[in-house]
Amino acid sequence: MTATTADAGATAPASDERLAYRGLGSRMFVRPEIVGILAAIMIYMFFWGVTRPFGSAGGVATVLDISATLGIMAVAVGVLMIGGEFDLSSGANTGAMGIVIILLVKETGELGGAGLSYWIAIPLSLAIALGIGWLNGWMVEKTGQPSFIVTLATFFVLKGLKLAGSKIIVDQIQVGRADEGSHYGFWQKIFGSTWERQTHIWEARDGVYTALVIVGGVIVMLAVYEFVFRRAKTLNAAGLPILGAGLVGIGVGTVLFHSMDGSDWLAMAVVAVSALAATVGFGTWRFQRHTDRGALALTPSLIQPLGIGAAALVAGVIAAIGFDAADDSDIIPFVTVQGLRVILFMSLIAIAAGYVSIAIYRSRDVSVATKSAAIGLAGVVTFLMALFVQSESSSQKFRTELFGVLSILALILVVWAVASALFEVRRSEDVDADRLARRVATIGGALVMAGILVRLLFVIQAEIDAGNPSRLAVFSVRIVWFVAFATVMSYILRKTPFGSWVYAVGGNKEAARQIGVPAARTKTQLFMIVAGAAWLVGILLAFRLNTIQAGTGNGLEFEYIIAAVVGGTFLTGGYGTVLGAVIGALIMAMSRQGISFAGWNTDWRLVFLGSILLVAVVANAKVRKIAEAAR
């Protein structure tokens, strides 16, 4: 064939002509946490739509706060489950560790404490936690019984010890006053400090936020092009000036932007045209142009999904217009008229989006021209939806935020349509391009995250003056602990030999042992990691609550397991990721907070959780089947 493919073959020892090239989409689809990600997006959108504070800085702070302690445990328990074991004592252990640390620092004498400094108590309690974890692992290995039963025993022992122990020592079923220990102040900063948004004023916030998000977004987009399109044999420098002009134009448009409510028509037009120019320029510089685009054709395979999509869209719009947007009365139990309006509108639009995606997917087989046309059409319809939402919605949140998101989505679709009409999609592996694209995408993603972080952490005077209470947000340091713990665990699992062994002992313990993996040691270390996580959560609880109830943490072990399973971890071991457990924890935190924001009885949370678990398990199994066939 061409020189490029020959080169790619030479530099890429891993590629093989018998392997069909898998596109970016299908590679993402086979990831274990894909169901969790989709569920998280849907749940976020649902509660964002039905409740006012959800999605505001305050709401995000609360959701992250809830997910932190849950997530630290979910990650540890998820990794243990990948290693093929359960730890039912993990929930009770969190409370036990909180009690232990408080007892270690309390004054001696009738207060019942050991009177140690936090400097001694913290490492000492960690040692106790690791000891409990080691004991769990040792018992599982020695008895050869299922860890489900062994740790169930540990759970009851811990539960009893917490109750009986606190009754004997402090004559109460709670152990209190973590703040009486010496050196409390220093450690409080590490485990209990908070960031109060309303006291951090930064007038340049919105400018920095917009710049970071747009620059990051553009970089991610360029990385996606690199992933998807085939490189030309020679670079064509003629594209560079156009790319440059496009980027400058995006910058100018960004500066022109003053609000996201759709009144900046000039700025929007400048950004849209510049984005198109940048795409064309970038593609001309690097990628192979299509020689034959094929004919535009509306085949029967496309008519059906397009038709259903259009019908759902129209039905959604009719539902939005048909119900009164301000009617607060119940139409059926628990659902107000305006609530039903939002639910109908959003679910019908989601259905429409699903069917249009199917049509776009199928149009790839018809012709390039048809595919571009389908994507472009989707973009135009998305923009019309944005305009509709903007003119029709009574909710300020919808008029600005949803309008903004839909407009950006529309722009991406239109630009994508143009790009896929002009340039050839890669059909073979290109390891160099993939590596480059991954790095660039990481940079772009980091910039977008930084932008969102700036927006979440800082406040501008105008917001304070407006006095909107939902803008009050307190971020606690436990979120940092959560992110750090998940990052470290993910690194260990993916990069180190120990991580490989975890998957091996979970996937086929006997094989792993025969081949020289220290299976017993690996499993024991996993139990110790879970206990260590329980220790961390126990300390975070002690510094937050100051007083720990004897029952704290009991029963939460199943929530950790649910979070891991929703995130794609196998109940039988050998499969799963840290990111999945993180997403599972976020889903659970979002549903808890969303239900309370919506003003429903919080007991509904459990019904919701059970349903999510069931749906996620079924969907995960299904996706895994497809994924295995796709490999």
Partner 1 sequence: MTSLLSLDGIAKYYGNIIALEGVTTTVEAGEVTCVLGDNGAGKSTFIKILAGVHQHDAGDVSLEGDSVRFGSPRDALSAGIATVYQDLAMVPLMSVWRNFWLGAEPTKGRWPFKIIDEAKAKSIAKDELAKMGIDIRDVEQPVGTLSGGERQSVAIARAVYFGAKILILDEPTSALGVKQSGVVLKYIVAARDRGLGVIFITHNPHHAYPVGDRFMILNRGQSLGNFAKADLPRDELVQMMAGGAELDQLSHELEGG
Residues that bind partner 1 (CB under 8 A): 13-14, 16, 18-19, 495-497, 500-501, 503-504, 507-508, 510-512, 514-517, 574-575, 628, 631
CB of 186 to partner 1, least distance (A): 25
CB of 510 to partner 1, least distance (A): 8
String of DSSP letters for 160-218? HHHHHHHHHHHSSSEE--GGGSBTHHHHHHHHH-EEEGGG-B-TTHHHHHHHHHHHHHH
CB of 573 to partner 1, least distance (A): 9
Radius of gyration in angstroms for the set of CA atoms belonging to the chain, rounded to a whole number: 27
CB of 35 to partner 1, least distance (A): 17
CB of 505 to partner 1, least distance (A): 9
Q: Which residues are paired to 4 by β-bridges?
A: none
Closest to partner 1 by CB, 288 vs 522, is 522
Q: With contact defined as beta carbons under 8 Å apart, do 370 and 363 qualify?
A: yes
CA dihedral 538, 67, 37, 227 (to 10 degrees): -80
Closest to partner 1 by CB, 417 vs 512, is 512
Q: Which residues contact 294 (CB under 8 A, 6 or more apart)?
A: 366, 367, 368, 369, 370
Closest to partner 1 by CB, 19 vs 449, is 19
Distance CA 552, CA 162 (A): 9
- Round to the nearest angstrom and report the end-to-end CA distance of the chain: 25
Closest to partner 1 by CB, 258 vs 438, is 438
Tracing tokens 């304070």 back to the chain, one arrives at 464
Closest to partner 1 by CB, 80 vs 97, is 80
Closest to partner 1 by CB, 314 vs 484, is 484
As a 3-state breakdown, the chain gives helix, strand, coil percent values, each rounded to 5, of 75, 5, 25
**Residue 384 CA: distances (Å) to CA of 58, 387, 623:** 31, 5, 33
CB of 570 to partner 1, least distance (A): 8
CB of 20 to partner 1, least distance (A): 10
CB atoms within 10 A of CB 64: 21
Closest to partner 1 by CB, 400 vs 508, is 508
CB of 12 to partner 1, least distance (A): 11
| Phi/psi of residue 174, nearest 5 degrees | -145, 155
Closest to partner 1 by CB, 109 vs 516, is 516
Distance CA 66, CA 461 (A): 28
